[in-house]
Amino acid sequence: MKSRLLVIIGIVFLFLLIPSFSYGTWREQPLEELWAQSQTIFVGNVISVQVVDVEKTIQYSEETDGVEKNIVKNYTMHLDEYTIEINSFLKNPQNFDTITVREPTVSAGIYQSTIRGFEIGDHVLFYIKNLNDINTYSPESQILETENNLFYFQDEFKKFLSITSPLKQFRSGISYDDIQCKDGLELVGKMPYAHPKCVKPESVEKLTIRGWATTNKTLELANPTKHTIEKDNTLFEIQYSLNGATLQSIAHDANANSIHVTLGDSVGGQMVISIPRVLLDAKMGHNIDDVFFLLIDGEENMYGEKTTDDARIITVWFPKGTHDIEIIGTYWI
C-alpha cells in the first residue's frame, strides 16, 4: 500500500512538472541589471526563422519500497533560431550588420521550457549576454511596436551611462562623442579620441594649454577679426578670434584642400574661426556634412564646431608652443 501511494504521488508530481513548452518562469530583470549583464544590446528586424533540435537531460530521484533510484531522462527541445538584420547598436557596437540568435529557455520545474518567439518582420530590442556560436538572447528581449518605444530605452540607457566612468563607457564601445559626463563636468581626452576623462570646466583650459588633454568644446565667436584669403584668384573673407598666441598668417593650400594657420608667441589658448563653405568644406554622400581633419603641428587633434548654411565655425584648443594649425577638408569621390 505504501509503495502504491508513493508511485501515485510520484506520477502526480511528474505530471505537474512536465511543461507545455509554451510557458516557463523567470525572474524579470530591471533595465540597469540587463544593461550591466549584456555584452551587447541592439535593435534589428527578424528576416528569417528556422527550428533547431536541442537535446536536454534531466535527473531526479524516485523512491520505491524505501529504495531511492536516480532517474535520467533525455528529451528534445525545438528552439527557434533567428537571423537578424541589425538597425542600430545601443551598447558595444560590433562590426557586423546581421547576426543569428537563438530562443532562450527558462525553468519549468525539472524541465526547461520556452516562453515566446518572434516572427519574420518583427522589430525587436535584443539583449545578448554572451556573443558566441549560439548567441542566446535574454527573455527580456521584446518587440518594439513604435519608435517611441525605442526612444524610451535610449533615454533610459543614457542614465546608466551617466553613472559609469567615461573610460568604461569608451571601452564598452560607446563612441567618444556620445560619452556622458555627470552634471557640472566636461569631457576631455587624448588623441586619437582616447583616454576620456570628465573634469571641472575650469580645468579644461589648463589641461589643453599644457598639452595634457584635448577637447571638442565649442566657444562662441566673439568680437571677431576679419581676414582675407585667396583661392583660385578669388578673395574670401573669414572671421576669427584668437587667445594665447599671435597670428602670423592664414593661407589656403589648394593641393592639400586645407587651411594653414601659422601662430607665433604661443602660450596655449583657443582659436575660433568661421570658414565659408565655398572656401573649405567637408562632405560625404548626399551632401551631408563630414568631419574635418585637424592637425596641430602635424598631430591629429579634436575640435569643436557649430555650423550654418554658409559657414563651418571651428573651435581649436591648442597647447603652449603651437606653431601650425591645419584644417583639412574632405569631399565625396
Give 293-298's long-range contacts (Cβ < 8 A, gap of 24+). Answer: 293/327, 293/328, 293/330, 294/325, 294/326, 294/327, 294/328, 295/324, 295/325, 295/326, 295/328, 296/322, 296/324, 296/325, 297/322, 297/323, 297/324, 298/324
**What pLDDT was estimated at residue 28?**
77
- Which domains can be identified in the chain, with CATH numbers? 20-151 (2.40.50), 225-328 (no CATH)
**What pLDDT was estimated at residue 2?**
38
**What pLDDT was estimated at residue 66?**
79
Give CA separation, 225 vs 70, 169, 241, 253, 319, in Å: 89, 40, 6, 21, 22
Q: Which regions in the chain score pLDDT beneath 70? A: 1-27, 161-163, 173, 191-194, 331-333
What is the tens place of the pLDDT at every residue in 74-98?
A: 999 999 999 999 999 998 888 899 9
- The count of residues in the chain is 333
